[in-house]
Structure 1
Amino acid sequence: MNKKEYIKGANPYMPLWEHVPDGEPRVFEYNGEKRVYLYGSHDTLKTEYCGTDQVVWSAPVDDLTNWTCHGVCYTSTDGSILYAPDVVQKGDTFYMYAAEAKGSRIMLATSKNPAGPFTNPKLTELAFDPGILVDDDGKVYAFWGFCKQYCAELNDDMCTIKKETLRENVVKHSITPWSPDDGMDDENDAFFEASSPRKLFGKYVFIYSKRYYTHRPQYGVYEDCNGFLSYKYCDTPLGDYKMGGDISFNGGEILPGPDGKNQMSYRWGNNHGSLMEVNGQWYIFYHRQIGTDEYSRQAMLEPVDVAMDKNGRIFVGKITYKDGEPVASEPVEMTSQGAHINGLDARKWISAGYAVHIYGGTKGGYNGGMGGAYIKPVYEKDDNISSPIVDITSNLTVGFRYLQFGANTPKTATADILAKEDLTVNVRVDDYKGKVIASFNMKKGEKTATATLNSSMIGKRAVYFEFLSSSKEIIAEFDKFTFD
């Protein structure tokens, strides 16, 4: 049993010990090989955002489940905390915009290798969360801002802006005590942070973290929320951007709630990432939280559909078509599978840390209510380390979307669960209230259990673990599971 392989490159796609949020993906060719490089912050401080170094991860364009760490590529010049960077290529040089001093000082460093190290930092005129676009004609544009948005063309030095091109509020800004009272805020489409300009169908697409001040009941959101990655588009890089939509939301599977209102099944948090075409398929790269705070974030990705209608309107995400024409789009589903598009191999060890649904519990709601269950972050650099779900209470369900069972039904399910009370664990399929295909009855103190499957399981399925006990206390920790 212990010789089984662990799933690698699922969602989150980096090893579970790594915490790289704010991911800006780029496809670069270097030494004759095309790879996706991921540049982001590095959550190493554990009690606040980010850390003092930047690391680079990459994967071959034909296998986004196979990520390699290239190590530290940049360290802040004064030991200050580095926020979200961006990296672009112009000519044979790679330019990193490193956000020192918590994003208040943007330094430009260079390398001849996309993995770095990036050296010779120079101060730029940019600010928080810089996103850079090198256009087809060689012109370079920068977008930046926190709760208020700015953009401009850069001079040839890649550091300074052409003052006459500076624009503000191509996306209206957030409603905050520090935002200007200029009438340029928007409670339905407020720019929060995470500027990322990209190009799609010859149009300029601006990806950003939106803050909604209006409820989004279809996604179970009944509060101010910036768990969305959204986009607008334009015919020119610094023009008037038109409404696009939302691409990603990190609140997990959306469920019909007991009162008829939709509910999230995972605790949302801030979001940051971008859109990238890899080997003919577009993906949204984003991040999620582990469930208690925003200081152990994890890199996530999902395939997305992209389209343009006959009027030039851009659609990104999960697209609805009518008579062959795109007519609407919505955020793609948050999954456990990521680039394993046919589902996670059910016969490998699957960490509980790949759950995209933690719901119910004694208090009800996502993560089992305030102070409920969460994915415990791990930091030991072991690719076979699992990230357990802890503080589980009775009636909690933990879901994985999706697993691949293949053409032959497994005989048993095995799970590493630390029983803190006597409990029953039901394994359900397709829905968190779906058919029970196996049950574990565990006594307090037991650490593993195996149960026989009672029905056929083939193909790609969603799988849920339901934890039940008469105790009102914490009843279990869930580490990993597999099928045989």
Structure 2
Amino acid sequence: MENTDIKTIKSANPYLPLWEHIPDGEPRVFTYNGETRIYIYGSHDTMKTEYCGPDYVVWSAPVDDLTNWTCHGECYRASDGGMLYAPDVVQKGDTFYMYAAESKGSVIMLAKSKTPWGPFTDPVKTELGFDPGILVDDDGRVYAFWGFCESYAGELNDDMCTLKKETVRPHLIGHSKPFWIKEDDGHVDPVDGFFEASSPRKVNGKYVLIYSKRYEYNKPQSGVFGSCNGFLSYKWCDTPLGDYQPGGDISFNGGEVITGPDGNGIMTYQWGNNHGSLMQIKDKWYVFYHRQTGCNEFARQGMVDPVDVAVDKNGKIFIGKITYENGEPVSSDTVEMTSQGFNADGLDAFSIISAGYACHIYDGTGKPNYLDNAEGTNKDVRRAHISPVYEGDSSPVVDIQSGATVGFRYLDFGADGASEAVVTGTFPKGFTVSLMLDSYDGREIAVKTVDEDTNELIFTLGEKVVGKHAVYFGFKTEDEAIRAVFDTFRFK
């Protein structure tokens, strides 16, 4: 008899429920009443047709079980009733301080709470600017970082609200180049320009500024040709307000990058703006960032992946996917975007897994998966994408056309393995659906042709699958006008 008590994966990557759209995640580990938890503070994409919303909510998980997230509910509502952009929260003494970005980030308010989940009350206006990030140093001094396309920093007074004017540094790191900055202003960094999303952290004794970098040049290995701000990058310094040195890129929200026929990379997920930070949880480091769903930037989701951290003999810090030579770090690059999140051994292949956890949605054309269906651009384009949801446990991949592949990295099949797969969705007559292991063009382990419109496909695998693997689903049809919907899958 079929087991009707089958678990549904509810915390993968995105690590929060698929219906919760919290971008700009600033992770913090706080110990309160003897319990140590990771807390997420971010803006809240509830407006659906524009960025963010008028409230912040808080989620947390115990550091010993990072897949067990709890929503603490609303912790702050905009005092002006407007849109709240990316916040930050720090602790000093027994008080938790929230820097709330009201009026779409143009006014930064400081609110306080005696608990890490709020509510945060009694807001007062600060002297800070867009996307504030706060660092409470080991000696108790507090530093603020902020800016949009231009980076600023300074030390805060004891009120946590006003700046020590003599410490303020404009042009802390080089600008990116929006339309209002000219090349000859002397502060544009053409290689590593600051865009937004300041987030200072202290990592292995170094001061690290994580931020969104805007690429204005090609990065072929990542499939980037032209302007792109889907990267989280970093620079580092030995002092909090010193001259920050080049670091590198930590994460990219363009999904799995595959190699095209010309040798260049092809991103397989729709890149968009990015914001997040680093956090050490117990003995491991993670990068928190966000990705887009739908065909615009208004339903973003919090993502997480582990990163490596190392310091070379000259004191340079490396963060991300690190390359070593003779035991010494020599370079770093972005870590891969996965479907597993905090499930380090892979997602349980025998649970129900939503297609919304895909980290690879590729149309097979050789072109990058841009936000080409966003408002005002190419409205007639139809391509496979994750449909945003605001309730329920599954978020389907819709508008699946012939030639598309949808991939998940990674699944855990255990030692006993799987010999059958069950896939749900909407599959019109004429589609052929195949399963591949380890690569989107890897070995095919099952295939089925849809003879009649159906909502469920059952595959017998051509081999028993054991251990940890990436899994891909391929879709083909001779009728270019029809589309499929992929909702869930599981193995048996």
For Structure 1 versus Structure 2, the TM-score category normalised by the shorter chain is: over 0.9
Distance 1:165 1:283 in 2: 31
Aligned to 1:402: 410
What SS does structure 1 have at the residue aligned with 2:488? strand
Q: Deviations over 1:286-333 (max 9, x none)?
A: 000014100000000001000001100000000111111111110000
> Is residue 417 of structure 1 aligned with residue 419 of structure 2?
no
Cα displacement (A) at 1:178: 2.8
Q: Is the 8 A contact 1:362 1:394 kept in 2?
A: no
Cα displacement (A) at 1:257: 1.0
Q: Is the 8 A contact 1:361 1:367 kept in 2?
A: no
Cα displacement (A) at 1:258: 2.8
What SS does structure 1 have at the residue aligned with 2:109? strand
Aligned to 1:432: 440
> Is residue 211 of structure 1 aligned with residue 214 of structure 2?
yes
Query: How do residues 252-291 of structure 1 correspond to structure 2 at under 5 angstroms?
Result: 252-291=255-294
What SS does structure 2 have at the residue aligned with 1:73? strand
Q: Is the 8 A contact 2:296 2:371 kept in 1?
A: no
Distance 1:431 1:361 in 2: 13
Distance 1:66 1:92 in 2: 26
Q: Is the 8 A contact 2:445 2:463 kept in 1?
A: yes
> Is residue 463 of structure 1 aligned with residue 463 of structure 2?
no
Distance 1:81 1:29 in 2: 30
Aligned to 2:398: 390
> Is residue 85 of structure 1 aligned with residue 87 of structure 2?
yes
TM-score, normalised with respect to structure 1:
0.97
**Counterpart AA for 1:303:** P
Aligned to 1:334: 337
Q: Is the alpha carbon distance of 1:67 and 1:412 closer, same or farther for their aligned partners in structure 2, counting shifts above 3 Å?
A: same
Cα displacement (A) at 1:443: 3.4
Cα displacement (A) at 1:68: 0.7
What SS does structure 2 have at the residue aligned with 1:447? strand
Q: Deviations over 1:87-115 (max 9, x none)?
A: 00000000000000000000000000000
Q: Is the 8 A contact 2:363 2:383 kept in 1?
A: no
Moved more, 411-420 or 305-314: 411-420
Cα displacement (A) at 1:8: 2.1
TM-score, normalised with respect to structure 2:
0.96
Q: Is the 8 A contact 1:111 1:119 kept in 2?
A: yes
Q: Is the 8 A contact 1:421 1:475 kept in 2?
A: no
Cα displacement (A) at 1:367: 7.4
Cα displacement (A) at 1:203: 1.1
Moved more, 396-405 or 370-379: 370-379
Tell me which of 389, 405, 429 is aligned to 1:378: 389
Tell me which of 444, 462, 477 is aligned to 1:454: 462
Aligned to 2:32: 30
Distance 2:382 2:218 in 1: 23
Q: Deviations over 1:105-159 (max 9, x none)?
A: 0000000000000000000000100000000111000000011110000011111
Aligned to 2:6: 4
Q: Is the 8 A contact 2:271 2:371 kept in 1?
A: no
**Counterpart AA for 1:178:** W
Cα displacement (A) at 1:362: 6.5
Cα displacement (A) at 1:187: 2.1
What SS does structure 1 have at the residue aligned with 2:463? coil
Q: Is the 8 A contact 2:446 2:461 kept in 1?
A: yes
Distance 2:443 2:371 in 1: 22
Q: Is the 8 A contact 1:361 1:393 kept in 2?
A: no
Q: Is the 8 A contact 2:272 2:371 kept in 1?
A: no
> Is residue 173 of structure 1 aligned with residue 160 of structure 2?
no
Distance 1:462 1:293 in 2: 27
Q: Is the 8 A contact 2:415 2:466 kept in 1?
A: yes
Moved more, 260-269 or 188-197: 260-269
Query: How do residues 22-421 of structure 1 correspond to structure 2 at under 5 angstroms?
Result: 22-179=24-181, 182-361=185-364, 365-366=368-369, 371-380=382-391, 382=392, 385-421=393-429
Q: Is the alpha carbon distance of 1:6 and 1:408 closer, same or farther for their aligned partners in structure 2, counting shifts above 3 Å?
A: same
Q: Deviations over 1:260-306 (max 9, x none)?
A: 32111111111100000001100000000014100000000001000
**Where does structure 2 lack aligned partners over 5 or more consecutive residues?**
373-380
Q: Is the 8 A contact 2:270 2:371 kept in 1?
A: no
Cα displacement (A) at 1:216: 0.5
Cα displacement (A) at 1:363: 8.1
> Is residue 481 of structure 1 aligned with residue 489 of structure 2?
yes
**Counterpart AA for 1:103:** G
Aligned to 1:442: 450
Q: Deviations over 1:388-423 (max 9, x none)?
A: 000010010000000000001212111002013421
What SS does structure 2 have at the residue aligned with 1:398? strand
Cα displacement (A) at 1:46: 0.2
**Counterpart AA for 2:472:** Y
Distance 2:173 2:368 in 1: 33
Percent identical = 63
**Counterpart AA for 1:165:** T
Distance 1:374 1:214 in 2: 26
**Counterpart AA for 2:137:** D
**Where does structure 1 lack aligned partners over 5 or more consecutive residues?**
none
Distance 1:75 1:64 in 2: 27
Moved more, 254-263 or 34-43: 254-263
Distance 1:221 1:421 in 2: 37
Distance 2:474 2:164 in 1: 58
Q: Is the alpha carbon distance of 1:362 and 1:153 closer, same or farther for their aligned partners in structure 2, counting shifts above 3 Å?
A: closer
Q: Deviations over 1:68-99 (max 9, x none)?
A: 11000000001010000000000000000000
Cα displacement (A) at 1:441: 2.0
Q: Is the alpha carbon distance of 1:359 and 1:92 closer, same or farther for their aligned partners in structure 2, counting shifts above 3 Å?
A: same
Aligned to 2:377: none
Q: Is the 8 A contact 1:43 1:295 kept in 2?
A: yes
